[in-house]
Chains A and B, each alone.
Chain A
Amino acid sequence: MDFTLSKEQQMAQKMYREFAENEVKPLAKMVDAEEYFPKETVAKMGKLGMMGIYFPQEVGGSGGDVLSYAMAVEEMSRVCGTTGVVLSAHTSLCAAPIFENGTPDQKAKYLPKLCSGEWLGAFGLTEPGAGTDAQGQQTRAKEVGDNWVLNGSKIFITNAGFADVFIIIAVTDEVLDKRGRKQKLCSAFIVERTDPGFKVGKPEDKMGIRGSSTCELIMEDCTIPKDRLLGVRGKGFQLAMATLDGGRIGIAAQALGIAEGALDETVAYVKERKQFGRAIAAFQNTQFELAEMKARVDAAKYLVYAAAMKKQQAMNGAKVRYSVEAAEAKLIASRTASDVTRRCVQLFGGYGYTRDYPIERMMRDAKITEIYEGTSEVQMMVISGAMLK
């Protein structure tokens, strides 16, 4: 597989690095400490076309590619895990399903504003009693006249406190399967923050990505027009799973970025920090730790980039699926991020445990990548499921 970056991708990577260094890194400590949602950064990213990187310019996107998008999440996460996930959830979980499943009218209404960053997007699948388990879904949508009326609640919704547009999964139909058991069928809907009966609940107090807004969504007779149904009625769960395949590439890129950022900080620190009269970089334990971490991070990087390139093939019209590649990328990158950040804290010693250095924040931020958009265990179900088919 050829991982040579195109001229445009190299240029984009350079721009992401400059932007991350100048605009994102200086805020990262405050974003974490004050649980501050970086809305000014989001506005800047929108202006530069970073909120719709891989969508065509005809629908308001930037005309880039999926790998360039993954690199954007990677580079932002390298300095601030929160900023990385804001970008990832918005693009992969809201703009992408509208681009991939929307009617021409839905695309025309939502994509230009999502891609420009004027509107922020979010995605609601998880409920108190159900995540990846479709049959556990409790939120229901009923047809009433010319409207859909939604009732239920969603939890752990990334970007919720600041999002304008939400993709909501709800049960619309029940059918009997071959053995006569009731089977719930879900559908996807586009819900706007201002729709009647829609409320955003209290934000979660989290271990990491503390600036990211994670809230409950409450729908009480939430009434939306008929034309907000996204995709095919009854196929909402499949839409959600396909959306998460893309989302996992974003989260894998976030995990990769966090791990690379931890290595950046650690390489600088071990050259400065002196013990027994020498920089700790001179000790072989430090060198071997760094070497192994770097090799693992690069391995994760190739998986993430390969998954992004596979999604690009699908975007270009090839009949390929990338569920397994995305699951592998997320499984390995998130595990690498947790492992690498923990080992980096160890190299920092006591200072690494303090909030004077960014490394403990990176360790806290890394953990979530093993949990959201499908836990590592779910990724292993996806991978082994394809093997044992």
Chain B
Amino acid sequence: MSTAAAPNYELIQQDGLETNLLEVSMGPHHPSTHGVFRMDVKLDGETVVDLRPVFGYLHRNHEKLAENMSYLSSMPFTDRLDYFNSMTNNWAYALAAEKLIEVEVPERAEYLRVIMAELTRLVNHVTLIGFFINDLGALGTPLLYAFREREKILDLFEQASGARMMCNYFRFGGLRNDVPEGWLKRAGEVVDRFPYFLDEYEQLLCENEIILSRTQGVGNLPRELAISAGVTGPMLRASGVAYDLRKVDQYGIYDRFKFRVPYTEGDTGDCYDRFMIRVLEMRESIGILKQALAGISEGEIMGNAPRVFKPKPAESYGRIEGPKGELGFYLIADGTPKPYRYRVRPPSLINLTVLRDMCLGGKIADAVIILGSIDIVLGEVDR
């Protein structure tokens, strides 16, 4: 249980045994913490009694840096927030800035944006599942299977944008360049082949008894807690809330695509739910990708937007459904070429706030899985 009461220590003391709580510092260089993240854990035997997350080791002053450079110049820095999902980070920032300068995005660019964002979702979920199984103790092999598929999509990114991970591809009012000739066909091939990989992966993992016994009923997150903590993305949907910004906001051209939002029935979600939601989401992403690749037409890819601009004093908030949750950029313009205030709403950080509630009362080995199922990237948590 997530909110299990701490064991009664007085009883233990009465047995005549002297027991002490053991304080363990997990991290910051622990491989299961997905980067430089530390958990100060208080243990009673193997049971977690208290947990304090410590982060900030990767703080790079992202927001303050962005306030001292032009709007365009901080675009490459958004790649480095969540370095698995540079395309969606670009999109969220571009949305916020496009609201400031009120520029139209051409249709082809909108289609390419959707294609890139959904490919990014595949990359993120496939990597997460690989690492999640890695945390469970299956060292390496499933992760490499996942990375094999990821590499195909990263090749597509490299052909389109020139870089595998730090794509820096979106621009205010469109995209930096059109995709090279034959790219859409190659993307179609990758998308067509992806379900076979998913079948194989699901067959291997989804009913594996080790995974079932280690993840089911572990790290329960009740719906009320998820909503009140501001948790978003697959984590929220795993707790039984069908909330997806692609349906709610319909930013870009998401209203043109048919897709379903997977969520669990019931009012709590455990690690297995969070794992399965991502597998199901990948299936939906493939559906969106097929529709987008079929519907894309020739045309301009860049709207009539200036490279460097001075927006009128205003504020704007652009948000998208990133693979990890709601990623938002809040900008205040003051009439100069630089933003007066630049704020990121990182899904990783806000989803991480419920870590303590999910870990209390569980075993120390489960804390590792619970952290893995949250899906954090420290580049985004610390900024």
A-B interaction: no
Seen from chain A, the residues whose Cβ lies within 8 Å of a Cβ on chain B are none
Seen from chain B, the residues whose Cβ lies within 8 Å of a Cβ on chain A are none
